[in-house]
Amino acid sequence: MAEKTRKIAFILVLTMIFWVSPALSYSNHTLQLFPNKRTAIVDGKNYTLTATPLLSGGRLFVPIRDVSDLLGITVSWDAKVKKAVVSYPFVPDLTAENQTLKENLQDSLSYLQILEDPQTNALLTTIKTIKEQYLYPEKTSSIAYAAAKGAVDSLQDAYSGFYDPVEAKQVLEAVQGNFVGIGVYLQESKSGIVIVKVVPNSPAEKAGLKAGDIITKVDNQDVSQSSLDIVSALLKGEEGTTVNLTVTRSGKALSVTVQRKSITVPTVTLNMSTTTVAVIQIDQFTETTPTELKQALQSVKAPKLVLDLRGNPGGLVQSLVDIAGMFLGPKPVFVYRDNQQTATIDAEGSQIYTGKMYVLVDKYSASAAEMLSGALQDNKRAIIVGERTYGKGVGQTLFDLDDGSLLYLTTFEFRTPTGKTINNYGIDPDVKIDPATALQYVLGLP
């Protein structure tokens, strides 16, 4: 079920539950029997029966042996009590022995139940009628995709979306990192897609882009209402090509041209390491982040560590859990809830760093960065310094549909180990201070 689900590096992804269409396909087979005729028809093919069916009293009496052979079931005649005994596999017994069959059957039955829903039937009938009856058929080619987009839009969820095959290709290219970019970290906000961090020495920095800039146009295409993954895909392209951006900064529109370049950026940077204090910056949580952090911690001997999560938009949940374990050991990291279950997720492995910790956050610290901050705060492992974080406490699953389109849907919520809500609120720091001066503040502490 989950083999098509893709994980996105810049979006927190937890448990993949992938359902697109019924895993089983049911075929209807037709057996036709006629009174006083020895010819039966099974799926359009003729068969000669051993006996002639008889019609009596409005009932058709048929030969048991032929029915048994043609339908592939076991039919026997009990002469003593004069009755027919029909034997066939019992589905619950089959599914009890075969977990895959059980899951497939549950998927298929769920799909059939959805089709029986009056509202679903109304939608499908509407689409079918428009395609068959609308005066201008040339306008109906994308009506199903429009309906899918409308269904997702009706959720009023900024993090969910539907992408037709053309859009989906752009999204997957961004996800898989097949193209070069300009060197920015992006995040969705109420004002639009905002740049939360500019990679040092990147084309974006050389062009004058700054954290806090809101992207409104890409090559004159309005992206003020576009999703994060679409904007990210538009910024990528072949190395050496340019992209023109219009951004809003402090209420003013600015236009910049940026050359795309192949950029390899580590997610972990050891900014300072002395005998008294070390400063480690994590830009996002990717597959390589735990390994990078472990390498950085090997050279840290200081009794005080500052973990800088300012501008960190989040990332992969497994990366987060692995990193939390380096500071917590096997302790709770967050509480996970979907529409079927609630569970506490614990870190695994042994604790690597045991010294005193401070975590720097700002309003752009989101998702996995908030989860790590909340875990360290609730476990009384670190002091959180800065301003309240972004407040993204939900995660999404990417469903790769058979026709090449994508459904990106919010499927779960996470809270801190003690149950504090993150979504639409964020993590309150222990020490509220301007994030721009937070590092200097912590370095000045004894």
The catalytic position among 160, 308, 392, 405 is 392
Burial of residue 83, with CB atoms counted within 10 A of its CB: 0-12 exposed, 13-18 middle, 19 or more buried:
exposed
Q: How far apart are CA 54 and CA 150, in angstroms?
A: 57
Q: 53 with 36: CB under 8 angstroms?
A: yes
Q: Is 428 a catalytic residue?
A: no
Task: Please answer whether residues 169 and 229 qualify as being in contact, where contact means their C-beta atoms are separated by less than 8 angstroms.
Answer: no
What the block records as the tokens of 194 is 């905002």
Place of tokens 């720091």: 429
Chain-centroid distance of CA 23 in Å reads 20
Name the burial class of residue 88, with classes exposed (0-12), middle (13-18) and buried (19+) by CB atoms within 10 angstroms of its CB. exposed
Cβ neighbours around 115 below 10 Å, total: 11
Please tell me which residue in 227, 365, 378, 405 is annotated as part of the active site: 378
Beta-bridge partner residues of 279? 272, 306
First to last CA, the chain: 54
Our answer to whether residue 392 is catalytic in this structure is yes
* Amino acid type, 309: L
Which residue, among 198, 181, 158, 163, has the nearest Cα to 233 in the 3D structure? 181
Catalytically annotated residue among 202, 232, 367, 405:
367
Active site residues: 367, 378, 392
